A and B are shown apart, each in its own frame.
Chain A
Amino acid sequence: MSTESENLESLVNRRYEHGFVTDIEADSLPPGLNEDVVRAISARKNEPPFMLEWRLQAYRQWLEMKEPTWAHVHYPKIDYNEISYFSAPKSDEDRPKSLDEVDPKLLETYDKLGIPLHERARLAGVAVDAVFDSVSVATTFKEKLSEAGVIFCSFSEAVQDHPDLVQKYLGTVVPRRDNFFAALNAAVFSDGSFVYIPKGVRCPMELSTYFRINAANTGQFERTLIIAEEGSHVSYLEGCTAPMRDENQLHAAVVELVAMKDAEIKYSTVQNWYPGDENGVGGIYNFVTKRGDCRGANSKISWTQVETGSAITWKYPSCLLRGDNSVGEFYSVAVANNMQQADTGTKMIHIGRNTSSTIVSKGISAGRAENAYRGLVKVMPQAHGARNHTQCDSLLIGKECGAHTFPYMEIKNPSARIEHEATTSKISADQLFYCRQRGIAEEDAVNMIVNGFCKEVFKELPMEFAVEAQALLSVSLEGAVG
């Protein structure tokens, strides 16, 4: 047992491989938040008046709101005046037209992360809208997409080129004052992705964005808006890694999805923000509001997330099932190791008739981490024939970690059929010994068992990303056996 835990220790103590900083000169605003900062952000982005007005209202609403404290996470109080709210790479004014024009240092950064952008884009047929800090610096495959009528661009570009679409949909799923972090995001968001799939179009490729946080002390406030018109289909993947930092970095993103009649949106996330060192120092605080609106009949929104990073994860991708027969899905793997804290889950709000939702949550805790599933299934009075199946499994590695489940159900229609299953298990010494007796190293055995545990979720990921997610999981849990 003692050698086993020593091995574990050394593995746990392995340092974060993706912790490095690219010294591209950043063009940042000084720290602090007030109306002038909001105006400055809007001005730098050359936004139309409606955007500035929207931001200012959000800022005023935010001032009156309180940071939520109900989550099962603990962190020192954030001073919002110590954060700089805008940072863009120097090359902002002169955007590269192709990868050849991209700052070679940036490409090098991607290489270090094992994301050969051009290779990946070419081989996998993935259009990549790479968000480096706050401004998109490389967008590929635009032509092919525009042939199909698909708009896939940075949020800033969308504000310039498609202001009517932005104005029509912005904040209609996640209102400005939805919650403290959503309001903050609405006031100061810097960039993000915008996707519009026209009626009847099946997006010809997976859309993917890689995010990175790169400038010290700069909160990242991404905003993503995806609109799938009637009968359309899109699969979107966001993935990210972040460099090592000494101070906690705040990340408060907002994602809004709109699915009209018969439309389908599949949104997959592989999240690998820097989790902090073994004592929890320096990790990312990740407060995210993600919500999908199944606005039309027979629409479907599917969230799949693999959450391995961040010091704190506060995230509940949700579905508003407004259309009759609409379907919401949530598949999640959340890993918490060392001092990481995760409070994540989903909300399924059944509003239309015969709506159904599926929740599969796999929580893995190791080290001294705390992992909580928090999920709400709400069936409104008019939501006749609603169905939900929730499966919530926790896997514990070691003795000092914790797993918590907070399921909430509000059922206001008697015809609803709601099922909830929950399990908690441990990687047993017997399972490890069994694998080792077959010649498989302990670390590989842990990976194998964890991957088996997560299988139901991984199979929901697009193929090429499922492999990446598995690799990420093994990095996150290296040596986490005790």
Chain B
Amino acid sequence: MLEIKDLKSRIGDTEILRGLSLSVNAGEVHAIMGPNGSGKSTLAQVIAGHESHEVTGGTVTFDGQNLLELEPEERAREGIFLGFQYPVEIPGVNNAYLLKAAVNAKRKHNGLGEVDAFEFLKLAREKMATLDMDPKFLNRGVNEGFSGGEKKRNEILQMAMLEPRLAILDETDSGLDIDALKAVAKGVNALRSPERAIILVTHYQRLLDYVQPDYVHVLSQGEIVRSGDKSLALELEEKGYDWVREAASA
């Protein structure tokens, strides 16, 4: 589904990704781990098309399509979802309005008509119930005055409504209490299916207790330095990132 080959990127004069390769198939859950500054969030943003990153080499294809040629909104409509580490506040813009606009943009792309307002609300309320979100959040400004946990649940709600084929969650677990973490994990697990792939970008293995990854990759200085299964995450937790760095440079 997603093929990344020798990907290089920079911000200004600073090289961040230095020849990263990754292959993700439908049905798989990949965890990307690594210390701060290793390029985890950059990878997520480059896949989503954030314009502050300049791609200087390599290729990224999504179902054979050159992803790097597409605008961020086109990538989203193709089925790529990025759950943000720091979701922005958009004052005055109704949460339901943004959600509906997003759903309709995707439906239009797929040649479908606009979603029925009544069905949309019904579905949104159902999804919110599974995330333990108060339906009142639909009528608030997008992330406006939300707590950290509420913002992350809101990201998962958007993901649930948009039903992406590839979901990338950028440190969605950071700063969450255990209840919020469980709710988020529940939302992610609900999305798991043979047609979809999920990339979890995370600093800690905590989330992986609730969402079992098929693969774990460790990023260091813009490259994947080690890949393995779930046990790699546990080993990391035990030995720390220095262990990977040393192993990589050895």
Contacts and interface: CB of A to CB of B under 8 A. Distances in A.
Q: Do A and B belong to a common assembly? A: yes
Interface string B103-144: 001100100000000000000000000000000000001100
Max count, chain A CB within 10 A of own CB: residue among B49, B93, B109? B93
B97 A439 contact: no
A418 interface: no
A442 interface: yes
A449 B93 contact: yes
Given A436-B71, A438-B105, A440-B101, A452 B76 contact: no
Given A4-B51, A429-B52, A438 B93 contact: no
Given A438-B162, A439-B162, A433 B92 contact: no
A436 B98 contact: no
Given A1-B52, A452-B141, A439 B98 contact: no
A453 B102 CA distance: 19
B167 to A, nearest CB: 12
Contact of B76 (A3, A439, A455): A439
Given A438-B105, A439-B73, A433 B51 contact: yes
Interface string A430-457: 1101111111111010001101111110
A456 B84 CA distance: 28
B92 A441 contact: no
B73 A431 contact: no
A3 B101 contact: no
Nearest to B101: A440
A428 interface: yes
Contacts of A442: 73
B93 A439 contact: no
B145 interface: no
Contacts of A439: 73, 76-77, 102, 105-106, 109, 162
A433 B97 contact: no
A243 to B, nearest CB: 33
Contacts of A451: 92-93
B42 interface: no
Interface size class of chain B, counting residues whose CB lies under 8 Å from the partner chain? 20 to 34
A453 B144 CA distance: 12
Contacts of A453: 91-92
Contacts of A4: 51
B88 interface: yes
Given A437-B48, A438-B76, A439-B73, A449 B90 contact: yes
Given A439-B109, A452-B93, A431 B88 contact: yes
Interface string B80-97: 011010011011111001
B165 to A, nearest CB: 13
Contacts of A436: 49, 71-73, 76
A448 B90 CA distance: 9
B72 A433 contact: yes
B90 A452 contact: yes
B73 A440 contact: yes
Contacts, number: 79
Given A433-B72, A439-B105, A452 B91 contact: yes
Max count, chain B CB within 10 A of own CB: residue among A438, A449, A452, A453? A438
Interface in A394-450: 428-431, 433-442, 444, 448-449
A429 B94 CA distance: 19
Nearest to A434: B88
A448 B88 CA distance: 14
B158 interface: yes
B102 A431 contact: no
Nearest to B141: A452
Interface string B147-177: 0000000000010001000000000000000
B78 to A, nearest CB: 9
Contacts of A448: 90, 93, 97-98, 101
Contacts of A429: 51-52
B81 to A, nearest CB: 8
Contact of A433 (B50, B91, B93, B102): B50
A454 B91 CA distance: 10
Interface string A70-90: 000000000000000000000
Contacts of B142: 452
Interface in A53-110: none
A449 B91 CA distance: 8
Contacts of B72: 433, 436-437
B59 to A, nearest CB: 20
A449 B143 CA distance: 13
Contact of A434 (B75, B84, B141): B84
Interface in A125-179: none
A438 B158 contact: yes
Nearest to A442: B73
A1 B51 contact: yes
A367 B19 CA distance: 40
A1 B105 CA distance: 23
Nearest to A425: B91
Contacts of A441: 73, 105
Given A1-B52, A452-B90, 13 more contacts: A434-B88, A436-B76, A437-B48, A437-B81, A439-B76, A439-B105, A439-B106, A440-B73, A440-B98, A440-B102, A444-B105, A448-B90, A454-B92
Interface of B: 48-52, 71-73, 75-77, 81-82, 84, 87-88, 90-94, 97-98, 101-102, 105-106, 109, 141-142, 158, 162
14 contacts: A428-B88, A433-B72, A435-B98, A437-B49, A437-B73, A437-B75, A438-B76, A438-B158, A439-B77, A449-B90, A452-B90, A452-B93, A453-B92, A454-B92
Q: Which 3 A-B pairs have the closest CB atoms?
A: A452-B92, A452-B93, A438-B102
Interface of A: 1, 3-4, 428-431, 433-442, 444, 448-449, 451-456
